[in-house]
Amino acid sequence: MRIAECATIIVATCTFLTPAEPQERIAVTVFENVRIFDGKSQTLSVPSNVVIRGNIIERIVTAPIPTDRRVDARVIQGGGRVLMPGLSDMHWHAMMVRPTPAQMLSSDLGYTTLLASAEATATLMRGFTTVRDMGGPTFSLKRAIDEGLVPGPRIYPSGAVITVTGGHGDFRELWELPQSQGGTSRVEQLGGSIIADDPDEVRKRVREQLMQGASQVKLTAGGGVASPFSPLDVTTFSEADLRAAVETATDWGTYVATHAYTPSAIRRSIAAGVKVIEHGHLMDEPTARHIAEKKIWLSTQPFVDLGGAAMLPPAQQAQMRQVVAGTDTVYGFVKKFGIKTAFGTDILFSKPLAEHQGQGIVDLTRWFTPAEALTMATSTNGELLALSGARNPYPGRIGVVEEGALADLLLVDGNPLEDIRLIEDPANRLVVIMKDGIIYKDTNPK
């Protein structure tokens, strides 16, 4: 958008900002007359005014903003609408959301990256200003977004998923066996996953991801749904393998997360020093209690149907049904033992499913209040992101509307604490989308 048009916004009125067409960052933006969901509270604030300077929330006040503070500011009249933090998804695969498995394996990285960039823009337009990418070659996409070439969310990348021969993420066909010395599969060439079968190999693979800019590292400690030769019940990496990954990540100032559904995979991960368990749907009660006692994070997903697994072969669909059957149990354990739990979706292989990313937050209300669900998808997720420590690509507080926090904000038409389904209708209900102090959507009447 041209500078003259931005000036028009500040001084008087303007046509609506086309979604995903970012304005240049204005030095000061003011949201007037908004009720705030701060990412933590069970209720909204009284009518308030919020001052953004650059990409930081500078002031939150109930008193009118002095005229001299408004002269050079972009002023957005909230009209009593709800201002809340941008949403975040802690289990996303930016490169694997839209293509089918066949498309992903038959396309070059250039095409899949262009496809992922279109999806990244759509993700931001759904109000998800941050994603934690849990496997895939997203480093170039992240760079393009950060440089302003492509509108999209903040990305916390893991790089390639590290797995073992025959583990979840080993997508080789049987005719590709045995692996020749130095040979790599198509998925490894694309950077989706990579195989390591002993502690030294694990260290090397972890370092390769960190070298490229990973903010955390992911290993598969057990079987999974999407992999054709990895039953859910298997436990893959040895404790020594996992410990090698943890030691290496710790040396780099960050942490390891493991894909783990079963008690065995979860307990072995914890014994090795892993800080975050992904999924966990098949855990038993003693394991849930162990997670809580050890203060381990659980990054799980409200799986309520087959989702993207509907396009997989029958055997893998059956595995997904096992996972879905465990969803109610795992959230019951979360509530019973007070497990620190993040929200994510793990949507794969489906543009139509991705378009309903916010439905995952709505689904959380089967177990939690709307305020609890939104807290999980904002401030709680922000706490998990901070575990990246020295490797955090976006230092600052994410997921809260507080003075000093990063300005990732949504202006919502309606009260999501009363009607959580507003989050599932971003095209009509998200009036303003701001990320890093830059407005990417503004349909607020002027």
Give the pLDDT confidence of 19-69 residue by residue, as tens digits: 666 666 778 999 999 999 999 999 999 999 999 999 999 999 999 887 666
Average pLDDT over residues 411-439: 98
Q: Express each pLDDT in 316-349 by its tens digit.
A: 889 899 999 999 999 999 999 999 999 999 999 8
Q: Express each pLDDT in 238-289 by its tens digit.
A: 999 999 999 999 999 999 999 999 999 999 999 999 999 999 999 999 999 9
402 phi and psi, to 5 degrees? -145, 155
Is a pLDDT exceeding 50 seen at residue 11?
Answer: no
Report pLDDT for 169. 84
The mean pLDDT of the chain is: 91
Burial class (CB in 10 A: 0-12, 13-18, 19+), 123: buried
Name all domains of the chain by residue range, CATH numbers in brackets.
3-86+398-442 (2.30.40.10), 87-367 (3.20.20.140)
Is a pLDDT exceeding 70 seen at residue 4?
Answer: no
Is a pLDDT exceeding 50 seen at residue 12?
Answer: no
pTM for the full predicted model: 0.93
Is a pLDDT exceeding 50 seen at residue 148?
Answer: yes
Q: Are 281 and 303 in contact (CB under 8 A)?
A: yes
Q: In the chain, pLDDT over 90 holds for what percent of residues?
A: 77
Q: Which DSSP string do the residues of 248-279 spell out, in sequence order?
A: HHHHTT--EEEEE-SHHHHHHHHHHT--EEEE
Closest to 223 (Cα-Cα) out of 138, 303, 323: 323
Is a pLDDT exceeding 50 seen at residue 105?
Answer: yes
Q: What residue type is 386 in one-letter code?
A: A
Q: Express each pLDDT in 369-378 by its tens digit.
A: 999 999 999 9
